């Protein structure tokens, strides 16, 4: 049916179906409205064509109930779409409490990820299928944007703050990861793959990567190396 054109791109996360439902509803609603308007344009063009006997006196009639009904109907429809979209936004900012937390760092021009056990990857992100994953994003230089079309998620990574995005991968596979914010010369090459694996395979993959240093452990090293611990450590003599 699609003639090789991806009219309906793959849905591979818990969020994809929800977002598509809103998108396709809006698209269908706009199509119906657009066709109705186009029909009126054509209808009136025919009715008032040169030489037709249509009434051109310009008499107007008003109907308060009619005017009120289309105003109220428009308002209600607009609020339905607003409420629907707002609910999706609220959901996207509330990851499940048991989500696996993976940290992601955007830098010119690559994505670096660190698994909860400290295993690092570049331009690849391995995740288990069926488990909520929250990616906490930071940027080292300029604004980047973590974008996985098959998951229907996108979140900017902004210097100086941490942002979050979550999803549950629903099907094993490899999914394109992009940077969706122009971030310099090699922006178009900044991307990679999200690899969704069955939980057992993910566990095996984690094991094969060996132990890495967790973010907390790296931070503690910096804390000592830069002398922060002199004043801010639990047992330090000086109090800053
Ligand atoms: Cu980028």
68 CA to centre of ligand 1 in angstroms: 49
Q: What digits encode the pLDDT tens for the residues 77-88?
A: 999 999 999 999
- Note the pLDDT of residue 105: 95
What topology is assigned to 10-42+95-211 in CATH? Immunoglobulin-like (2.60.40)
- Could you say which residues of the chain have pLDDT below 70? 1-2, 239-240
Q: What digits encode the pLDDT tens for the residues 87-122?
A: 999 999 999 999 999 999 999 999 999 998 888 999
Distances (CA, A) of 223 to 35, 104, 117, 138, 236: 64, 21, 20, 19, 13
142 CA to centre of ligand 1 in angstroms: 8
Parse the chain into domains and list their residue ranges.
Answer: 10-42+95-211
Q: Which two tokens stand for residue 47?
A: 């009715």
Q: Which two tokens stand for residue 138?
A: 């930071």
Q: Which two tokens stand for residue 122?
A: 């570049």
144 CA to centre of ligand 1 in angstroms: 4
In the structure, ligand 1 is a single-atom ion and the residues with CB under 5 Å from it are: 144, 179, 183, 190
Q: Which two tokens stand for residue 132?
A: 């909520």
Task: Annotate 169-238 with DSSP letters as a single string.
Answer: B-S-EEEEEEE-S--STTGGG-EEEEEEE-HHHHHHHHHHT-----HHHHHHHHHHHTTTHHHHSTT-SS
- Note the pLDDT of residue 118: 85
């Amino acid at each position: 049916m699609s003639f090789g054109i991806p009219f309906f791109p793959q849905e591979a996360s818990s969020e994809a179906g929800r977002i598509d439902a809103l998108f396709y509803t809006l698209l269908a609603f706009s199509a119906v409205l657009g066709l109705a308007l186009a029909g009126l344009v054509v209808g009136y063009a025919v009715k008032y064509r040169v030489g037709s006997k249509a009434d051109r006196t310009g008499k107007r009639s008003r109907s308060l109930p009619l005017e009120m009904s289309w105003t109220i109907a428009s308002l209600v429809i607009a609020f339905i779409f607003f409420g629907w979209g707002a609910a999706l936004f609220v959901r996207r900012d509330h990851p499940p409490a048991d989500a696996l937390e993976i940290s992601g760092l955007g830098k010119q021009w690559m994505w670096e990820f660190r698994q909860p056990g400290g295993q690092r990857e570049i331009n690849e992100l391995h995740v288990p299928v069926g488990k909520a994953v929250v990616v906490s994003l930071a940027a080292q230089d300029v604004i980047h944007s973590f974008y996985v079309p098959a998951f229907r998620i996108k979140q900017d990574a902004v210097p100086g703050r941490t942002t979050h995005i979550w999803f549950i991968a629903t099907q094993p596979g490899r999914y394109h990861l992009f940077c969706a914010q122009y971030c310099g010369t090699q922006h178009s090459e900044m991307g990679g793959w999200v690899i969704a694996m069955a939980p057992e395979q993910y566990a095996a993959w984690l094991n094969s990567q060996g132990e890495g240093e967790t973010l907390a452990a790296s931070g503690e090293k910096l804390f000592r190396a830069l002398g922060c611990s002199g004043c801010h450590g639990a047992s330090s003599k000086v109090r800053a």
